Amino acid sequence: MAKLWIGQPNYSSWSLRGWLACKIAGLEADIRWVRFDQDDWHAEVPSNATVPVLALDDATVWDSAALIEVLAERHPGAPFWPADPGLRAHARSIVAEMHSGFVPLRMACPMNIRARTTDFPLSDAVFANIARIQDLLETALINSGGPFLYGPEFGAADAFYAPVLYRLRTYAPVAQCALADYSERVMAHPWLVEWEAMAADDPAFARSDALLNNGAVE
């Protein structure tokens, strides 16, 4: 059976993407959690890189983007990418942009699913990231007709932007309003409901929670 190493569900955005990729593929994996507050967390993971890591019978894959590609290749019927070439090019572009970009948002607003703020200070660079994301997602929904980014099924791009929706809910609830319908749809999806339930039970990771408390670790 495949094994998937992931970080803590409340905090690990890339792990959520990898876990969703397995769901899209219909791949049942034995899930292994690592705790970032344990210094030796790398020890049990079959890669010295980051999580998620997926161990298949004949290969180990250690990056969320690679995981999407490998699973899409091995599960050709799974709805990772839209069939239409134009939509597919757009989907690949926004997934690549997420994987390589939006650094201000990622640095200032790490995923913390349980947390809520009302007046978290956001820089102009973060607001610019949020505006760009709103524009990309709205364009995808209009061009595909929804209800997910590229059509009727939850795909790779939805998996890549789901952690962003959680970030907006935590740090920029007003900005989230612009994507309210899509956001509610994603968060009501059974996979995200399952992930949020895991996040609710996740032990606190003080270093990440401290950011919400002006840097003071409680």
The residues binding ligand GSH (CB under 6 A) are: 7, 12-15, 36, 50-52, 63-65, 99
What is the spatial distance between Cα 67 and Cα 142, in angstroms, rounded to a whole number? Answer: 28
Give the nearest residue (CB) to ligand GSH. Answer: 50
DSSP string, 103-114: HHHHHHS---TT
> Order of strands across the sheet with 53-55?
29-33, 2-6, 53-55, 60-61
| Shortest distance, position 145 Cβ to ligand GSH, whole Å | 29
Q: Which residue's CB is nearer to ligand GSH, number 144 or number 208?
A: 208
| Shortest distance, position 147 Cβ to ligand GSH, whole Å | 26
Q: Which residue's CB is nearer to ligand GSH, number 75 or number 99?
A: 99
Residue 31, strand partner residues: 4
Q: How many CB atoms lie within 10 A of CB 26?
A: 10
Q: Which residue's CB is nearer to ligand GSH, number 19 or number 148?
A: 19
Q: Which residue's CB is nearer to ligand GSH, number 88 or number 99?
A: 99
β pairing state of 60-61 and 29-33: unpaired
What are the respective helix, strand and coil percentages of the chain, to the nearest 5?
A: 55, 10, 35
Q: Which residue's CB is nearer to ligand GSH, number 7 or number 79?
A: 7
| Shortest distance, position 174 Cβ to ligand GSH, whole Å | 26
| Shortest distance, position 11 Cβ to ligand GSH, whole Å | 7
β pairing state of 53-55 and 2-6: antiparallel
Q: How many CB atoms lie within 10 A of CB 47?
A: 16
Helices and strands in the chain: count of H runs, count of E runs? 10, 4
| Shortest distance, position 110 Cβ to ligand GSH, whole Å | 8
| Shortest distance, position 113 Cβ to ligand GSH, whole Å | 12
Q: Which residue's CB is nearer to ligand GSH, number 50 or number 134?
A: 50
